[in-house]
Structure 1
Amino acid sequence: MRRSPLFSGVIYLLLGVLFTYIAIQTVNDSGWGFFTYMLIFLATLDIGSGFRMIGIHFKIKNAMNNKK
């Protein structure tokens, strides 16, 4: 069973928000460190992938509607 790009995009966005939240909490507790930079990097990748997957979903949906 395949997941839709919309579902995957939402999951990626949620993970990006979660990583950002954890990074903010880490900065408040112990300041900027390697772990914080790693979390921000992962959040950036996840949010970017989420937007890309959602865009792919709408491109596929638009292509399917244009075929009909």
Structure 2
Amino acid sequence: MRRSPITAGFFYMALGVLFTVFAVQEVSSSGWGFLSYVFVLLATLDFGSGIRMVMLHLKIKSSENKKK
């Protein structure tokens, strides 16, 4: 059984929020260090993947509706 793109999209967005929280905590405790940049990079990639998955889901639903 495969996961739908919308499920994967929300999962990636949740990870993006989590890494953003980690980045904010890291910056507030010790400033902009290497780990802060890693957290920001991971959050950016996760948000991008999440948006891409949600858009893929909408495109699939749109093509299914046009076939009917």
3-state DSSP class of the match of 1:35? helix
| Aligned residue number for residue 5 of structure 1 | 5
- Unpaired segments of 5 or more residues in structure 1? none
| 1:37 paired to 2:25 | no
Alpha-carbon separation, structure 2, partners of 1:51 and 1:45: 10
The amino acid that maps onto 1:30 is S
State, as a whole percentage, how many aligned pairs show the same letter.
57
Moved >6 Å (runs of 4+): none
Superposition deviation, residue 16 in structure 1? 0.3
- Unpaired segments of 5 or more residues in structure 2? none
RMSD of aligned alpha carbons: 0.4
1:16-39 deviation per Cα after TM superposition (whole angstroms, max 9, x unaligned): 010000100000111110000000
The amino acid that maps onto 1:54 is V
| Aligned residue number for residue 49 of structure 1 | 49
